[in-house]
Amino acid sequence: MSRIYSVKDNSGENRLFLNRVVAAFIAITLLTSGLIVRLVYLQIVGHEHYSSLAKDNSIKIVPLVPTRGIIYDRHGKILAENLPSYSLELTPEKVPDLDGTLSRLQKLLDIPDEKIELYQKLRKRQKWFTSTPLLLNMNNEELAKFAVAMPFFPGVDIQTRLIRHYPYSDLASHVIGYVGRINEAELKDLPIAEYRGSTHIGKLGIEGSYETQLHGKTGYAEIETNVQARLLNTINEKVPDPGANLYLTLDIDLQKTAYDALGTFNGAVVAIEIKTGGVLVFASRPGFDPNPFVVGIANDVFQALQLSENQPLYNRALRGLYPPGSTIKPFIALAGLEYDAISPEHNILCPGYYQIPGVSHQYRDWKKGGHGSVNLNKAITESCDVYFYRLASTLGIDHIHSFLQKLGFGEKTGIDLIGEKAGLLPSREWKRSRKNQAWYPGETLITGIGQGYLQISPLQLARATATLANRGSVVTPFLVNKIATARNTLPGPEIHQQTIPLKPANVNTVIEAMINVVHSPRGTAKGINTNISYQIAGKTGTAQVLGIKQNAKYNENEIDFKFRDHALFIAFAPADDPKIAVAVVVENGGHGGSVAAPIAGQVIKQYLQDNDEHRNP
Amino acid sequence: MNIETRREQFQPPSMLGNILRKLHIDIPLFIGLLLTSLLSIAILYSTGSQETAILIRQAARIGLAFLLMIVLAHIDPYQFKRYSALLFGLGIILLVAVLIMGQIGKGAQRWLELGFFRFQPSEMIKITTPMMIAWYLADQPLPPKAKQLLTAAILILVPTFLIAKQPDLGTALLVASSGAGVLFFAGLSWRFILGIIAALASVTPVIWHFMRGYQRDRVLTLLDPESDPLGRGYHIIQSKIAIGSGGIYGKGWLGSTQSELDFLPESSTDFIFAVFAEEFGLFGSLGLLGLYLLIIGRCLYIATQAQDTYSRLLASSLAFTFFVYVFVNIGMVIGILPVVGIPLPLISYGGTSIVTLLAGFGILMSIHTHRKFLPI
């Protein structure tokens, strides 16, 4: 401070500062007096008024929790509902001898020790005069036993609560999701006023994605209570708005067919109604029973689910990523036609392998010895790899990337479910930025048969199939068809219509070949063409889990089950007027034609039969 | 012969006095702070959460904060002045970092994760802002002219804006008032102060426009608590009932009946004064206000005894900010100010504010105990 000492008027500054301190002190005293006046007003003048509110007859404001909306399938079958459940609850402050009461209850109702311990833990966390559940979900026998003995248990009550119930258990657990207790992390992001009184929140699937609509709006009641917290009088009430009921596009019977058809395999089935984009089947196997999650799943059960090798908690249809294998071929063929890289009649010779000129590596066909002379129709019908190696090589990765991107690969489909994965559609740029490597020609070849970096979800595959069947009108899948509140009914998510310009002749060529896959005697999925009155257009696929060495042989029976190929199948029907598109992925299923195709066949059959019945009863 | 030995010749050293002087502790301030902190534990015990874990955690925080205070008291105020700008700049950088990270992680973010604890840059800025303004004004001729005012205003508004953006309205208010406090004590002209007030009144609609939904709700529920009886208004209604039912003498320690109704998730944090006033009544409330006034008075006294401009501007501003804490918190709990998230200083549960507050008092003690000529 000595630097500019000369321009500073020290004694003047001192005086100024002291003045300010005095002024501050006066201001502080005045403001504090303001607080004191208010305190006097509250604690002396208002004392009687507030005491009466606080003491004998206190006014409490209690939240009135809205009933959660019900979830229905497309035919009105209940997928998620609210059932009354009885729980035994104790208010520790009202129980004269807590330990004694607990041990008497234990004897009366045969309560295991853990539950008593859990109750003791819960009780300590609760605020005073809050009733805390000891037994949840009481059965009739327990209810009857306690009802008789109730007068001997002051402070112990039976409480009725509505708990969420999923009647179809594991059948559609991933898509419906479940509700669970609100955890601390969720509490921070929730609108507190809306969730006062709510204990549960949608965690996954539709329950999570449509939480706001399903929850409804919380109401409240101002009630007058006495010392025992008994209700004396309701002064004012704002009733809650119940949550909206959701009507899904899902067909639970069709879902069951698909889920059962997967049998003991792990895998996923997605079926889409082509005209609307409504998802009919969204199955992921294995599923899990969501009901224990509602009441609080036991830790060891949850651990077992999480650690299970089959990953039952994983929504394969939405988040499972697989190489599409040969199911990508119709799309590559269409790209070839659209970019004029091939003409449908042009024949090439398939000797059973393909070589990039000047490179010794042989890219093998699945059929040893080759398919002979192959045109586009035969290449799809018999799933000739060599034809597509060559086509991919002609097209180049840039064209393949841009065409597949239009069909929605490598991007989220925008379905109204949280947690979707985008998959991976490789490109030169992707490889340079991610791996810092140039793109190799060989990688284009294997992309052409759906191997390599390409990763798709069953939902994306079903969507692309539906878009193909829809002749380029992009199908955007969605699950919620109607949102019905007490006041109005709103449609589900807004769909933006988009169209990929495709030449009709090219689409016809590809569809004809896909019909041959099912209906020609040489088709790879000919097994499913019996006893049907309509035509199915399909394509099989087999995705390698294990890399096979050059010159080595893949023998299904010798390989460990979990390294067996994934079986895939895509299809739509009827081929002349497409209504339903299906994608099936069977993990370690082996061959698309023998394992995956029949599942799609069953789903299509049932859907078309049902819809005929509905039309002409 | 240096000052130290000369002083000892004049003053026969008492043992205790000597030790305390070596510790650089200001006794009246220390006693006031200690009493308040002990009250904090007593009330926390009574808020219904008689979980010892919470009490132990709070006690540990208080202990840590006292330790930090004593450490800071040992540092010569010259060092604070020297590093003012550096610390302020660091704080701003950290604030920006937090804001960017918050945008990446979606939603409000106020802290940096430093392995074993969370560091809130906004807490640090509460002290470094008045340090910065005091440092800047210390070498200027006072009262400040328009140019200095403009610079100071920018230096205050940058951190205020960054914190308001987090969004943490309460802390932003404290930072702004700590900076404004320095300007006031530096002799900002009264005409200017009135002008600012008028200007603020006229930009209120603009501020309203930029407020978040929940911040608007808080202001609205203050004006009409009944409009959201389940949300914020519920707190105000219930805290008034609690305070009013306490009466003159209160219901006695542990006698609060309202705090255990499910009325306040914040009964141990921002709304703890309601529990205090219910249990200790008007007398208790006046006592607590008196204790606060003693602390503030002592701080202002320290400011008047400080020997250079930097020290007295900083000391008086810290005292002023402490009062803002008390006034805004109690004001909101008794329903005369909007509910902004400001804790009751030294009493509310929650670590960071106690540490920052006591760090501030550490600086005050440093200023007082490092004076070169002790009054004899």
Q: List pLDDT tens digits, range B273-331.
A: 998 998 899 999 999 999 999 999 999 999 999 988 999 999 999 999 999 999 999 99
pLDDT, one tens digit per residue, over A546-575 is 555 555 555 656 666 667 889 999 999 899
Interface of B with A in 129-148 (CB under 8 A): 138-143
> Which of B230, B249, B286 is the best mutation test for A, with the most CBs of A within 10 A?
B230
DSSP A500: -
For the segment B181-197, what is each residue's pLDDT rounded down to a tens digit?
999 999 888 888 898 88
- Nearest residue to B96 via CA among B122, B132, B128: B122
In A37-96, the residues whose Cβ lies within 8 Å of chain B are 38-40, 42-44, 46-47, 49-51, 53-55, 58, 60-61, 63
In sequence order, the 6+-apart residues with CB closer than 8 A to the CB of B267 are B47, B48, B259, B274, B275
DSSP B205-216: HHHHHHS-HHHH
- Write out the two tokens for A560: 């460990």
Residue B116 pLDDT > 60: no
Distances (CA, A) of A539 to A196, A263, A273, A570: 53, 21, 18, 5
Q: What is the overall mean pLDDT for chain A?
A: 85
The verdict on a CB contact (< 8 Å) between A42 and B244 is: yes
Residue B376 pLDDT = 42
Question: Which of A268-272, A552-556, A563-567, B41-45 is least confident?
Answer: A552-556
| Cβ neighbours of residue A51 closer than 8 Å, sequence gap 6 or more | B244, B245, B247
Q: Which residues pair with A585 in a beta bridge?
A: A268, A568
**For a pLDDT cut of 70, what percent of chain A falls above it?**
90
User: Looking at beta carbons, which residues of chain B come within 8 Å of A24?
Assistant: 184-185, 300, 316, 319-320
Query: Which residues of chain A lie closer than 8 angstroms to B308, CB-CB?
Result: 1
The pLDDT tens digits of the residues spanning A418-439 come to 889 999 999 999 999 988 888 9
A575 touches A511 (CB < 8 A): yes
> pLDDT band at A310, cuts 50/70/90?
confident
Coil, strand or helix: which one is A288?
coil
Asked if B224 is an interface residue toward chain A (Cβ–Cβ < 8 A), one would say no
Residue to test with chain A: of B262, B300, B330, B333, most A Cβ within 10 A: B262
Model confidence pLDDT, tens digit, residues B80-92: 999 999 999 999 9
Chain A environment of B293 (Cβ under 8 Å): 28-29, 32
Residue with tokens 């950290």: B94
pLDDT, average across residues A518-524 = 89
List Cα–Cα distances, B67 to B53, B127, B353, in angstroms: 21, 17, 15
Separation CA A105–CA A90 (nearest Å): 11
**Stretch B118-138: mean pLDDT:** 89
Asked whether the beta carbons of A318 and A415 are under 8 A apart, the reply is: yes
* Higher-confidence position of A347 and B267: A347
Q: Do B231 and A130 touch (CB under 8 A)?
A: no
Q: Which of B142, B289, B308 sits opposite A36 (nearest CB)?
A: B289
| pLDDT tens-place string over residues A446-494 | 999 999 899 999 999 999 999 999 999 999 999 999 999 888 888 888 7
Give the per-residue pLDDT at A96: 79
Of A4, A16, A18, the CB nearest to B143: A16
Which is nearest to A535 in space by CA: A572, A501, A497?
A: A572
> Side chain identity at A530, as an amino acid letter?
T
With cut-offs at 50, 70 and 90, classify the pLDDT of residue A54: confident
Question: Do A28 and B296 lie within an 8 Å CB cutoff?
Answer: yes
> For residue A425, what pLDDT is reported?
93
CA distances in angstroms from A504 to A28, A472, A577, listed in the order given: 83, 9, 14
Cα-based distances in Å from A31 to A1, A37, A347, A541, B293: 35, 10, 95, 79, 11
Alpha-carbon span B47 to B67, nearest angstrom: 27
> Measured between alpha carbons, how far is B352 from A155 in angstroms, rounded to an integer?
41
Q: Using CA atoms, how far apart are residues A73 and A81, in angstroms rounded to an integer?
A: 12
Whole-angstrom Cα Rg for chain B? 21
What HEC string does A181-216 produce?
A: ECCHHHHHHCCHHHHCCCCEEECCHHHHHCHHHHHC
Give B132's pLDDT tier (boundaries 50, 70, 90). very high
Residues in chain B: 376
Q: Percentage of chain B with pLDDT > 90?
A: 39
- pLDDT value at residue B117: 57
Q: Which candidate, A362, A505, A499, places its Cα nearest to that of A442?
A: A362
B 70-129 residues with CB below 8 A of A? 107
B308 touches chain A (CB under 8 A): yes
Half-sphere exposure of B242 (CA within 13 A, CB side): 33
- Interface ipTM above 0.85: yes
CA closest to B213 among chain A residues: A191
The token pair that represents A21 in the structure block: 């301190």
d(CA A509, CA A333): 9
More confident residue, A212 or B230: A212
Structure tokens belonging to residue A57: 């007859």
The per-residue pLDDT for A365 is 86
Binary contact (B240, A42; C-beta < 8 A) = yes
- Compare all CA atoms of chain B with the CA of A3 and give the residue at the minimum distance: B139
Sign of CA dihedral A43, A46, A47, A52: negative
Q: Check pLDDT > 50 for residue A4.
A: no
pLDDT 10s digits, B148-174: 889 999 999 999 999 888 777 888 989
Which homologous superfamily is A321-478+496-615 in? DD-peptidase/beta-lactamase superfamily (3.40.710.10)
**Taking the domains of chain A in order of start, what are their residue ranges?**
5-45, 61-248, 321-478+496-615
Q: Read off the tokens for B265.
A: 């998730």
Closest C-alpha among A351, A377, A372 to residue A362: A351
What pLDDT score does A106 carry?
A: 87
Distances (CA, A) of A8 to A14, A230, A391, B138, B139: 11, 73, 87, 10, 8
Question: Average pLDDT of A17-40?
Answer: 94
> Residue A253: its pLDDT value, please?
93
Q: Express each pLDDT in A522-541 by its tens digit.
A: 888 888 888 888 999 999 99
For chain A, say whether B289 makes contact (Cβ under 8 Å): yes
pLDDT for the residue numbered B131? 95
Active site residues of A: 326
The whole-angstrom separation of Cα B239 and Cα B281 is 13
Residue A181 — very low, low, confident or very high, per pLDDT cuts 50/70/90?
confident
Q: Residue A398's closest CA among A431, A355, A365, A364?
A: A431
For A144-166, what is the HEC assignment? Answer: HHHHHHHHHCCCEEEEEEEEEEC
Task: Please report the pLDDT score of residue A80 as a whole number.
Answer: 93
pLDDT value, residue A616: 47
Are the beta carbons of A127 and B260 separated by less than 8 Å? Answer: yes
Average pLDDT in the A379-400 region? Answer: 92
The answer to whether the CB atoms of A220 and B230 lie below 8 A apart is yes
Residue range B362-375: average pLDDT?
82
User: Model confidence at A1, in pLDDT bands (50, 70, 90)?
Assistant: very low
**DSSP for B118-167?**
EE-HHHHHHHHHHHHHHHHHHTS-SS--HHHHHHHHHHHHHHHHHHHTTT
Q: How many CB pairs under 8 A join A and B?
A: 146
The letter for the amino acid at B86 is L
Report pLDDT for B48. 57
Q: Within an 8 Å CB–CB cutoff, is residue B303 touching chain A?
A: yes
Q: Please, which pLDDT band fits residue B259 given cuts at 50, 70 and 90?
A: low
Contact by Cβ (8 Å): A399, A439: no
Write down the pLDDT at residue B44.
84
Q: Which residues of B touch A217 (CB under 8 A)?
A: none
Position A5 confidence tier, pLDDT thresholds 50, 70, 90:
very low
Of the candidates A42, A124, A129, the beta carbon closest to that of B334 is on: A42
pLDDT of residue B1: 46
Question: Which helix (H) or strand (E) is A117 found in, with range?
Answer: helix A113-125
Kindly state the average pLDDT of the residues A285-295.
88
> In the CATH scheme, what architecture does the domain A61-248 have?
Alpha-Beta Complex (3.90)
Residues B172, B156 contacting (CB under 8 angstroms): no
* DSSP secondary structure code for residue A594 in this structure: I
User: How many angstroms separate the CA atoms of B365 and B376, rounded?
Assistant: 19
Q: Pick the range with the lowest mean pLDDT from A104-118, A271-285, B25-39, B59-73.
A: A104-118
H helices of chain B, in order, are 3-10, 15-23, 27-46, 52-74, 77-104, 121-138, 146-164, 169-185, 190-210, 213-223, 232-246, 272-305, 309-333, 351-369
H/E element holding A483? Answer: strand A480-484
